[in-house]
Amino acid sequence: MVKNAEWIGRICLIIIVVIGAFTMLVPFIWMISTSLKADSEVFTFPPTWIPEILQWANYEKAFNVANFGRIFFNSFYVAIVTTILGLLLNSMAGYAFAKFNFWGRDVIFILLLATMMIPFQITMIPIYMLFREFELLNSYTGLIAPNIATAFGIFLMRQFMKGIPSELMAAARIDGSGEMRIFFQIVLPIMKAPLAALGIFTFMFSWNNYFLPLVIITDESYKTLPLLISSLSSGLYVQSWPLVMAAATIATLPIIILFFVAQRYFIEGMALTGIK
């Protein structure tokens, strides 16, 4: 039996957590609320939280700004390709580290982990110059290539693949399966959950990435959503808060949907990066 005093304490704690959760949501509520307001309603004082008349047309307007459709497609295309190639490359490398014994393995692995401390900014200028040289500024390749293999991704895959029993592969080898076949038909199917987790991280990172496109993209037709949103404010287009908030909602919505659909993988994957 739990004492009354203990219950009162518990209810107070729950209330604090609820208030905190509400605080986390306030910016999202404000974003969606503004995105549905008329331009004039923005100037009412005190500010309203529920729009008088829901202006769904703001979303239509946002889609008509610049070539929003094209930019949305760019973000999507870059994120999808980065994710697919990233899953392939990182899981292959993780497999090599987890399941093979080769010369220099541990040293290479530690060096790889050390690269996580290298700030992106130190590599940015040389990457910019490289892309200028090979005419990859304003290209999909430029947006995708630097992000398809990461120390983090390889590390995550290695951690999971260490758990696969080696006997499984040994048996397949005796049966005469080739190494590639073992990897694609035996190893990868067991790795569905971690692949989902890494895939979601990669998609999220690519979709939200700002610094790389900011530096290498100037051509309107290769811009991604974060670049478009940041340009909405700089006087390039009409400055309208409902419009900017509608664009921000469109940019965050796919990630939020992805998060709720695949929440389990998302959170488990995040959690596993921390403990091992």
Partner 1 sequence: MHDAKAIPFTRRKRWSKATLTPWIFLSPALLIIMIFVILPTIAGVVISFLRYDAISPVEFIGLQNYKLVFQDQLFYKSMWITFLFAFGSLLPTVFISLVLAVLLNQKWFPFVNLFRAVYFLPTVVSMVAVSFVWLWLFNPQLGPINPLLSAFGISAQQFLGDSSQALAILILINIWKSIGFNLVIYLAGLQGIDNSLYEAARIDGASPLQSFRFITWPMLTPVTFFVVAMLIINGFQVFDQINIMTGGGPARSTYAIVFYIYQKGFSETNFGYASVLAVMLFIVILVLTLAYHRINARLER
Query: What residues between 102 and 141 interact with partner 1 by CB under 8 A?
Result: 102-103, 105, 108, 112, 115-130
Q: Say if CB 251 and CB 226 are below 8 A apart.
A: yes
Site for partner 1 in 179-238 (CB under 8 A): 179, 183, 204, 207-208, 210-211, 214-215, 225-226, 229-230, 233
Residue nearer to partner 1 on the CB measure, 194 or 226: 226
The smaller minimum CB distance to partner 1, of residues 189 and 260, is found at 260
CB of 195 to partner 1, least distance (A): 15
State the residue for tokens 């014994």: 101
Among 68, 99, 139, 190, binds partner 1 (CB under 8 A): 99
Exposure string of 253-270, with b = 16+ CB inside 10 Å and e = fewer, is ebeeebeeebeebbeebe
- Number of amino acids touching partner 1 (CB under 8 A): 101
DSSP single-letter state for residue 105:
H
Least CB distance from residue 154 to partner 1, whole Å? 6
Q: Are 154 and 116 in contact (CB under 8 A)?
A: no
Instruction: Give how far Cα 46 sits from Cα of 43, 217, 229, 251, Å.
Output: 9, 40, 27, 28
Nearest residue (CB) to partner 1, 220 versus 254:
254
Question: Near partner 1 by CB under 8 A, which window of 53-61, 62-70, 146-154, 188-196?
Answer: 146-154
Site string for partner 1, 25-54 (x = CB under 8 A): xxxx-xx--x-------xx-xxx-x-----
For the bound state, the minimum distance from the C-beta of residue 194 to partner 1, rounded and expressed in Å, comes to 14
Q: Which of the ranges 56-64, 65-73, 101-109, 189-197 carries the binding residues for partner 1, by CB under 8 A?
A: 101-109
Q: In whole angstroms, how close is the CB of 204 to partner 1 at the nearest point?
A: 6
Location of structure tokens 């490359």: 89
CB of 42 to partner 1, least distance (A): 6
CA distances, 161 to each of 28, 154, 165, 213, 260 (Å): 38, 10, 9, 33, 26
Please name which of 64, 57, 83 lies closest in space to residue 144, comparing C-alpha atoms: 83
CA-to-CA distance for 226 and 213, rounded, in angstroms? 9
